[in-house]
Amino acid sequence: MSIYTPPADWFKAPEGAERLWVGLALCWCIVMSIAMPYWHFYGKQNPTGEAYRVDPIEFAQRVGKFVETNKVGDYTAELNGVEIPVPIAEIAPGGDGYLLARMWAFFPILQLRKGQTYRLHISSQDLNHGFSIQPLNMNFQVVPGYDHVLTITPTSAGEFSIICNEFCGIGHHTMTGRIIVVE
Ligand SMILES: [Cu+2]
């Protein structure tokens, strides 16, 4: 209950400049509301992919097995002046490959062939990480307990960096990985 009764004519329809600005804002709201579904269907969006529940330890074991059977070499990564060998694993064309994200690295280095299609399983061993392939505009969340499956077909050869773009602690800025695409 108010302390006094407002006058009966308290509401006045906007007029003049106020009317113009409210009208402009309303038009823009309508444009943006149409743009959202439009961009969903016609914009170059990242695919949502598939996701399955997985136990983080079990996923790490699958990654280990994948690296054991598909290792083709070693890659020398450098961190703070220290050289660290990281295995390179090649995914069989049309097959399944595994990538593990953890504080603060991606494991292993993946090798792919241009024009072949792969199912790439990505998960995290500890906490939420990001999976962003540079310099492409691809960006995904990597959540522990979920096996995120991306169906990918590399269209150009070269070395691509993977960076984590979800802040994941003190070593976040060093969390990088690599995908090698060969002809
Ligand atoms: Cu991370």
Sheet order of strands, 158-163 included:
71-79, 82-90, 109-113, 176-182, 158-163, 129-134, 138-142
Residue 2 has pLDDT above 80, yes or no: no
pLDDT in tens, 106-154: 989 999 999 999 999 999 999 999 999 988 878 889 999 999 999 889 9
User: Which amino acid appears at position 138 of this protein?
Assistant: M
25-39, 47-61, 113-127: least confidently modelled range: 47-61
CA 127 – ligand 1 centroid, Å: 8
- Global confidence as pTM: 0.74
CA 32 – ligand 1 centroid, Å: 33
Residues 169/101, Cβ–Cβ less than 8 Å: no
d(CA 138, CA 67): 24
Strands 105-107 and 109-113: unpaired
CA 170 – ligand 1 centroid, Å: 10
CA 101 – ligand 1 centroid, Å: 7
User: Structure tokens of 141?
Assistant: 């969340």
Strands 158-163 and 146-152: unpaired
Of 115, 177, 121, 169, the residue nearest 149 (C-alpha):
121
- Tell me the pLDDT band of 47, cut-offs 50, 70 and 90: low
CA 174 – ligand 1 centroid, Å: 9
Residue 6 has pLDDT above 90, yes or no: no
CA 130 – ligand 1 centroid, Å: 6
Q: What is the mean pLDDT of residues 44-60?
A: 84
Residue 48 has pLDDT above 70, yes or no: no
CA 122 – ligand 1 centroid, Å: 13
CA 36 – ligand 1 centroid, Å: 29
Q: What is the mean pLDDT of residues 168-179?
A: 92
